[in-house]
Amino acid sequence: MITATALAIAAYNLAKPFLEKTGEGIARKVGEDIWNLIKKTFHESGQSDIETLALTNESNFKTQLEQKLATDEALKTTLASMVQKAEMELSGNFQQNINSYVNL
């Protein structure tokens, strides 16, 4: 199973295009889904304006997320599943784009 540290980093990296309003199509949608789960977790523990923290203090945000993942097995399992699915979708989308260009 993926470590809390690796999962926090992967989840943040996948959510980043959504947070920064960059990226296109599937990358933003994947980021939005992951971000919504993360944001909900922080809000449930009484933290507000977590988006600002994630954008202005990436290291602190990842540390806090890592701590939550280390203590909440259900969150870790759900987020790991979402990250794995997102990585598969994104790599599949990349492959599809390559195939589309090759066939032109």
pLDDT, tens digit, for every residue of 26-44?
777 788 899 999 999 999 9
3-state secondary structure of 79: helix
Residue 69, CA distances (Å) to 48, 58, 59, 72 in order: 18, 16, 15, 5
Confidence of residue 95 (pLDDT cuts 50, 70, 90): very low
User: Over the stretch 66-94, which tens digit does the pLDDT of each residue have?
Assistant: 999 999 999 999 999 999 988 887 776 54
**Could you give the CA distance from residue 35 to residue 33 in angstroms, rounded to a whole number?**
5
Taking only Cα atoms into account, the Rg of the chain, rounded to an integer number of angstroms, comes to: 15
Is the separation of the CB atoms in 90 and 31 below 8 Å? no
The one-letter code for the residue type at 50 is I
